[in-house]
A and B are shown apart, each in its own frame.
Chain A
């Protein structure tokens, strides 16, 4: 059972080394994301968590290593993968609305010249509704709270109807209500057979939220089911011998 899961893994990263010009950020990192589960990448600051995620999205070019999605090159599977970037990575004073951001998720259907039709709008609105944001569809994005911004990003990913969702710190700086709303949506995706991978930093919620973990500190320290992998011993090795108090 485990072997077949590995064979058709939605995401498989092997022996990945990445550098931004200086010392490598990742050296020989491995990651296997099992189908239909919630996986977390955890590790200290500067461990290369976001870099691993961005490599898995094809946004960062690695020095060496292989990345496959469902046993195929990444580029061939792009449309089955949805990305939720870090909230802080964009300028929220950008002149656009909540609905317009959600509509970006439908870019593949809209393309260059096609007009936005009512059924596109309806779909984007339905996705906003799943994250509790449909009432604010016409609002300028600069007027949103951090949690609301995060929900809009999630709605945009939902509009893609992907099978693998990669989220970079989706719970960073959001309120408790948003965190609950997001985790409900993510667990709903998992229960519908989709696969979810999050870069995550709050160790206290790992056992409750995630089925599978990858402990990272420039290389993969351990990965596997949360129950057997998320142990004090592994965490000590990941966090350089200093266990964070939250665990």
Chain B
């Protein structure tokens, strides 16, 4: 009996594994998804091992990624930028996927810098300390750190995005149509809080009666809780809901569809999530932002006298994408208001974070 059961289970297991295999091969591998093996190899030697006869003036860029670069999310934003640098700037690119051990970070930074890389990006705040440590030894290399405000006059530059500006613009749209918005955040960390403040201020700039109902989930994955939070807000009278909670935020669009209110997409064109109810999305093209920086570094026009903030002043990096197929398309009048707000934000006349003390 026991043997029979073991046998059956083994057969089932084999069946399961073989059932998975064809699916894996069918996968759209054309997504420039680098083979896992390649990535693994890179962990050991991030060096451009295959680099043919290193020409001195080849522009070289290295990336330290905190996870798989084809994750369709945070890590991929940097990888996409890296690929664009290769295509548009003829840069020689290399990346390494790292775990969570800071000693690896330092080694990876050092590996790149010692091989004369012009630019190395640590994609996440956790890389900041290692970058600072290594950078002092390699003054010819520029070190960039994502999600960081770091700048101390050295060759380490923090890069951050102005989510307050993006949500300010969404607030302008929502406030032009309704009196109450809903904002579902993941965890109350500075970039998410800044989005909330921007959303409130943007709405207030066009509608004195504007108010925002806010809820935080305490995580980035609970799509069901995000939906329930949005449903509560809609019940409280919100007619425009928007998430800032990574993938969990998708539940917010679903709530908007169910209750037939409007939704505003975050971080990318989310129209597919709710084709009739999402009237506009804010798009953050982080990869484009990185290419812009790389171009300046390559051409020697990089100022390098402050940390870097990616915001609406670069219309190809952060912009509003309107959904022309929505049940109600955003009117030209409101789009003009948004354009005016962008001008104000760029010139500094408008402070999206007004009234907020950090």
Are A and B genuine complex partners? no
Chain A residues in contact with chain B, CB under 8 A?
Answer: none
